[in-house]
């Protein structure tokens, strides 16, 4: 279980203040999209990944703890998630993420356990 789902791991290579917008995002089994938005706030760090046509333009909210490595030279973020986990992840809904603590906890629970997401239809 991930104790600090909304925090970058110390060994990820994350440097506070680095703008990750537009950076390539790689799952454990290949490319999944690009960073559309991100936060590196303490205990509220995340990526919003635009998956483009790969899963029909869906944006997903990905907690910082899933980042295993940030390549500052190649501008690539590597996740410890497989494509299928990202595909089945809850879609990012900015109003809910910013205002609804229950929704945020459900998203955190999805990434802690690998799904299923109670607010969605997918299951791993």
Q: Which of 53, 46, 55 is nearest to 21 (CA)?
A: 46
Q: Considering the domain boundaries, does residue 118 fall inside one?
A: no
Residue 77 lies in domain: 24-113
Q: Considering the domain boundaries, does residue 119 fall inside one?
A: no
Q: Considering the domain boundaries, does residue 97 fall inside one?
A: yes
Q: Which of 45, 49, 88 is nearest to 65 (CA)?
A: 45
- From CA 38, how far away is CA 55, in angstroms rounded? 20
Q: Considering the domain boundaries, does residue 17 fall inside one?
A: no
- What CATH number is attached to the domain comprising 70? 2.30.30
pTM: 0.84
pLDDT, tens digit only, all 124 positions of the chain? 345 888 999 999 999 999 999 999 999 999 999 999 999 888 889 999 999 876 667 889 899 999 999 999 999 999 999 998 888 888 887 777 767 778 878 888 888 876 655 544 333 3
Domains held by the chain: number: 1
Q: Considering the domain boundaries, does residue 6 fall inside one?
A: no
The tally of CA atoms less than 13 A away on the side-chain side of residue 107 is 27
């Amino acid at each position: 279980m991930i104790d600090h789902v909304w925090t970058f791991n110390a060994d990820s290579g994350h440097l506070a203040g680095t703008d990750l917008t537009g950076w390539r995002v790689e799952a454990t089994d290949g490319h999944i999209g690009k960073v559309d938005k991100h936060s590196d706030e303490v205990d509220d760090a995340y990526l919003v990944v635009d998956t483009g046509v790969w899963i029909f333009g869906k944006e997903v909210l990905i907690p910082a703890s899933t980042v295993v490595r940030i390549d500052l030279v190649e501008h690539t973020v590597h996740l410890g998630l497989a494509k299928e986990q990202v595909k089945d992840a809850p879609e990012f809904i900015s109003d809910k993420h910013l205002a609804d603590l229950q929704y945020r906890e459900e998203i955190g629970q999805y990434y802690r356990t690998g799904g299923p997401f109670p607010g969605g239809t997918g299951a791993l």
